Structure 1
Amino acid sequence: MAKLGRLVVDGSGTILEVDAAFCATMRMARGRLIGRNALDLTAPADRDRCVSVLARVMGERIPLATVKRMLRADGTHVWVSNSLRPMEQPGGPIACEILSDEAVPPSDWVEPSILLRVARFILASRRAREKAFSAHFFGDPAWDIMVLAYVSEAEGRTLSTADLHASIGISLGNASRWIRALNAEELIEYEDDGASKALVTAPIRLSSSGHRRLERFLSSLHDAAGMEERLDWAQADRLDR
């Protein structure tokens, strides 16, 4: 497998060092990588596991390995096999050296760009249904929130409770209740200071678990329906606008 580079992070995951190979892999200049948290460059569904692995390396002082997806600046994913080991720093706290090699994606993996198109189609079909029938009979706000959160993150947009009224037509109060319920199920995350007003503007996003489970659903939907070959994605994109 190809060598994809080396980086060094501190206990929080903040990048301290990168080599030229890792910069090339991520398609980013060194200045854009130093000081960033490596979790920002990790596919959302893989972040919880990576936090756990790093904590073990730093806490138990043992080398570990993991396979995950790195998220490039252009939104593409690259599968990597990471070898992590604790590294002493002269006069400073212990750090973690990470060596990245190319990894083979699982056989059932579907490209994120395709999953995004499936998610967009779901939103588009629901909007088309509301035009044909009364939305009163087919409300499913929890599902709409999750799919919209997935699409927003994939498109690099921030989603807040206030955005949900315009996007899926539910009131702020109703949206807040559903977000708190989804958060209790560990499917949605947001910054909570206990104030209802803050929830209106706080960014909301899928948790790692929510992202992973939704990816599995979208992948199974794509595989079962043969969507890439059978659906007119251009039409779906037009409906989504």
Structure 2
Amino acid sequence: MPTYTHSGKYLYEIWLFYANIIGYIRLILIITSVTGASAAIHQNSFDWAIFASFCNYTGGWLLDWIDGPLARKYQQCTVFGACFDWYCDLLAELVFIIWAAELRLWISLWMLMVLALELGSGLIDTNNVAANYPWAEFAPNSGFSFRILQIVFPKGQYSTVGTAVWILHATWAFCYIILAHIPAHYLYLAAIIHGLSILLLPVALCYALHQIAYLVALVSGWKEPARGTPE
């Protein structure tokens, strides 16, 4: 778990931390992907679809893979950075959902379900920004045990396998965005992407199961936190 040692500092003292700079780049890429996705839809442009996919995939997922380890390496973990990171995560998924709704409604609904699970687990856990990822101490008598959590998300942090599942789930979803825009004469490329989407389907199901298990674990292990009585 990261150590937060910058309490009491103002934003101008931490806003140029390496991980925060990556966060700003993520936000720019995600916003840029909106323009690309709009052009891809209205111009039926495969080139714009590739550009928008690159921006959203890089900003929403690939760079998210880097900022956390970078913050921990240089002891730059901040509550601001954790909140901004989660904001970029949700924004990237929201852009994808709106884009996919114009092309493949079912993949949009799938990602909406995943987003709802992520929001639920993030908001339920009152210690959301006190750790790298939300986590809860499960009640000993809750009887809750999902093997998937032990493999993908042990002790509230993604394992190597979990990171791969998370990245490949996004890759699986973007396959359908590309397939919706790919020109009819790109037969071989379409076949390759379609084959990849089939191969990654079990990974996507694994990611969804992990999110469900995580949310159930948080709910089943819930302990009402202490809170002062307002005057």
Scaled by the length of structure 1, what TM-score is found? 0.23
Q: Judging by fraction of residues, say which structure has more strand.
A: 1
Report which structure shows greater RCO (CA 8 Å, sep ≥6): 2
Q: Judging by fraction of residues, say which structure has more helix.
A: 2
Scaled by the length of structure 2, what TM-score is found? 0.24
Query: Which is higher, the Rg of structure 1 or of structure 2?
Result: 1
